[in-house]
Amino acid sequence: MKVSNSTALVTGANRGIGLVLVKELLNRGASKVYATYRSESNRAALDELGDRVIPVHLDLSDKTTIAKLSQSVSSLNILINNAGIFTGTNLLEDTEEQLRNDIETNLFGTLAVTKALLPALKKESSAAIVNVSSIAGLAAMPSFGGYSASKAALHSLTQSIRGKLKADGISVHGVYPGPVATRMTEGFEMDTAPPSDVARTILDGTENGVEEIFPDPLSEQVGPVYLSSPKGLEQNFAGF
Ligand SMILES: NC(=O)c1ccc[n+]([C@@H]2O[C@H](COP(=O)([O-])OP(=O)(O)OC[C@H]3O[C@@H](n4cnc5c(N)ncnc54)[C@H](OP(=O)(O)O)[C@@H]3O)[C@@H](O)[C@H]2O)c1
């Protein structure tokens, strides 16, 4: 899978990791990048990026916008499911509604977008789906139980569609970042990786066919622990 001359779509592209992914796709010569935004007031960041970028309205919780997406995108090489939320839900103390919120967005929203764009991906001889999960999707961080459950479900979804889409020649990549310096981690007292480094590593991994992408210094340490000892990682994260 090469980014040069490809058509890509990035969800949650108006800020954070999504915005730098769009810029990095342009740097690598993508011919067209569909970049989704949820609210009109956040579209300006995308309008400045030139005519290879096509801003598209998308709200993962609104099926109408997802259906429109499939009408406006006829063929696609790279789908990057980046949009997501972090609510900090504590499973034993918070409401079921808060957990549903995490799962509606991070799992069902991502799945609906993927299904809507599958016909466009199948039209191309070379195509990839990149799902942005989290290290918290590999083993639970108890203080962020809702987020962990939603990202673990996304990890499982990634494995399911990888198996199903192999025969269609569509590669499926899971991305498992640690803390990255975006609005999502504002107020966190921990080292965060620059989103531009994370975006470069995500696209390097996609171009090189890496199925599990660990795009920052913390996830580079977590990845091998998960791959060799999932139980060890659970024990490691138990205090979070
Ligand atoms: N930052 C981290 O430390 C970190 C670590 C691990 C994984 N991740 C994952 O990386 C991805 C990007 O996160 P980020 O750090 O760049 O966060 P961010 O700065 O908070 O950006 C999140 C993006 O997702 C969009 N979004 C949220 N809910 C949406 C919905 N219902 N419909 C459409 N778009 C929606 C947001 O749109 P609005 O601007 O309209 O809200 C925004 O564009 C997420 O999936 C996140 O879980 C981040």
The amino acid that residue 157 corresponds to is: L
Per-residue model confidence (pLDDT) at position 231: 97
Q: Indicate whether 1 pLDDT > 90.
A: no
Contact 178, 219 (CB under 8 A): yes
Ligand 1 site-directed mutation target among 15, 135, 138, most atoms within 8 Å of CB: 15
Residue 153 phi/psi, 5-degree rounding, is -65, -40
- pLDDT tens for each residue of 191-215: 999 999 999 999 999 999 999 999 9
User: How many Å apart are CA 185 and CA 179, to the nearest integer?
Assistant: 7
Per-residue model confidence (pLDDT) at position 46: 96
Looking at the DSSP bridge assignments, the partners of residue 180 are 193
Q: Residue 111 — very low, low, confident or very high, per pLDDT cuts 50/70/90? A: very high
Helical ranges in 166-216 per DSSP H: 195-207
- pLDDT tens for each residue of 14-34: 999 999 999 999 999 999 999
User: Ligand 1: distance of its center to the CA of 55 in Å?
Assistant: 17
Nearest CA to ligand 1 atom 7: 134
Closest CA to 8 of 164, 240, 18, 67: 18
Which residues have C-beta atoms less than 6 Å from ligand 1? 12, 14-18, 38-39, 42, 58-61, 82-86, 105, 109, 132, 134, 177, 179-180, 182-185
Known catalytic residues? Answer: 147
Mean per-residue pLDDT, 93-117: 96
DSSP annotation of 229: -
- pLDDT tens for each residue of 164-173: 999 999 999 9
Question: For residue 231, how many other CB atoms are within 10 A of its CB?
Answer: 9
User: How many Å apart are CA 63 and CA 82, to the nearest integer?
Assistant: 18
Ligand 1 site-directed mutation target among 11, 22, 42, 86, most atoms within 8 Å of CB: 86
pTM of the complete model beyond 0.95: yes
Contact 130, 161 (CB under 8 A): no
- pLDDT tens for each residue of 51-97: 999 999 999 999 999 999 999 999 999 999 999 999 988 999 999 99
Per-residue model confidence (pLDDT) at position 55: 97
User: Ligand 1: distance of its center to the CA of 181 in Å?
Assistant: 12
User: Ligand 1: distance of its center to the CA of 85 in Å?
Assistant: 5
Share of the chain above pLDDT 70, in %: 100
Token pair listed for 28: 């690598």
Contact 138, 232 (CB under 8 A): no
Per-residue model confidence (pLDDT) at position 240: 83
Per-residue model confidence (pLDDT) at position 126: 95
User: Ligand 1: distance of its center to the CA of 12 in Å?
Assistant: 6
Q: Which domains does the chain have, with CATH numbers?
A: 7-237 (3.40.50.720)
CB burial class (10 A; 0-12, 13-18, 19+) of residue 93?
exposed
